[in-house]
Structure 1
Amino acid sequence: SMRARQYQDNPKACIYFCDRRFFRGVMLLGSMEVLEDRIYKEMIWREGDTMYYPEGVTDPDYCVLRFTATQGRFYSNFNSENFNII
């Protein structure tokens, strides 16, 4: 897929979780790996996934993305704080 190729070319990634009710959130920075080994694909495969990947676990468009965070930033009450993840 386009996104998997993007991460293969440049593994830098960021994810953000937001609690809109309390106007707070956390951003995690790190890297994304594209895993294509059958063992990882079978690990998260669920019944019904053939709706998106008709050939099942062996579908060439099916892969697993593994995100590893190295640092983050927490936002709350109009303040933010950076933190490292060991």
Structure 2
Amino acid sequence: MNTLPSLEEQQEHFRRLLSRFSTAMLVTHGQTHSFHARPMALAQVETNCRIWFLTRRESAKAHEIETDTRVLVICQREHDAYLTLTGRATLVENRAKTEAIWKEPFRVWFPDGVEDPDLVLISVVPENGEFWDNSGFRKINSFMESAAAYVAGRQPRIAEGEEHGVVRL
């Protein structure tokens, strides 16, 4: 008998999957009730799924977050792992935190490094997440189930909580 993974197991699965991404699309609410999405490097993912990004204080995304803290984070890797996270973003000025999460490739965007006076952190505190994970052994299972579904003329069966899950963070 198959049992669904517990909420804690799904949250841990979500956290492990999130920690494997290095980039994401950060979606903010624009000034005219529109959405703005832009690719961002994930500076840090904490064990509670809190995400840290770096940006410029005078960027459009920083101003949008000041107006509306609701954000959506979207991650995708090839055709085997997808993840969305909704949460609340805040701008944080904290030199110690910036130094702790700084990576040398960030210098492309911030040539003065952690000393850049326009550098500010974006902290995203998660509220909800959803994932689709067909990585590793799941990829083989997904392929086999999809092939069987095609032959049988039905939709593939998805292992809820393992391949797909919705979690409250």
Alignment of 1:22-61 (within 5 A): 22=80, 25-47=82-104, 49-61=106-118
- Alpha-carbon distance between aligned partners in 1 of 2:106 and 2:73, rounded to the nearest angstrom: 23
Relative to structure 1, is the Cα distance of residues 48 and 75 closer, same or farther in structure 2, using a 3 angstrom cutoff? closer
Letter in 2 for 1:18: Q
Q: Which runs of 4+ in 1 moved over 6 A?
A: none
Q: Which secondary structure state, in structure 2, belongs to the residue aligned with residue 82 of structure 1?
A: strand
- Alpha-carbon distance between aligned partners in 2 of 1:50 and 1:5, rounded to the nearest angstrom: 22
Relative to structure 1, is the Cα distance of residues 84 and 46 closer, same or farther in structure 2, using a 3 angstrom cutoff? closer
Letter in 2 for 1:83: V
- Alpha-carbon distance between aligned partners in 1 of 2:113 and 2:61, rounded to the nearest angstrom: 20
Letter in 1 for 2:101: I
Give the number of the structure whose alpha-carbon radius of gyration is greater.
2
Relative to structure 1, is the Cα distance of residues 54 and 18 closer, same or farther in structure 2, using a 3 angstrom cutoff? closer
Greater strand share, structure number: 1
- Alpha-carbon distance between aligned partners in 2 of 1:19 and 1:32, rounded to the nearest angstrom: 23
Q: Which secondary structure state, in structure 1, belongs to the residue aligned with residue 119 of structure 2?
A: coil
Quick one: higher RCO (CA 8 Å, sep 6+), 1 or 2? 1
TM-score normalised over the length of structure 2 = 0.40
**Correspondence for 1:70:** 127
Relative to structure 1, is the Cα distance of residues 54 and 16 closer, same or farther in structure 2, using a 3 angstrom cutoff? closer
Unpaired runs of 5+ residues, structure 1, are: none
Give how far 1:50 is off: 3.6
- Alpha-carbon distance between aligned partners in 2 of 1:27 and 1:69, rounded to the nearest angstrom: 10
Count, aligned residues:
84
% identity of equivalent residues: 21
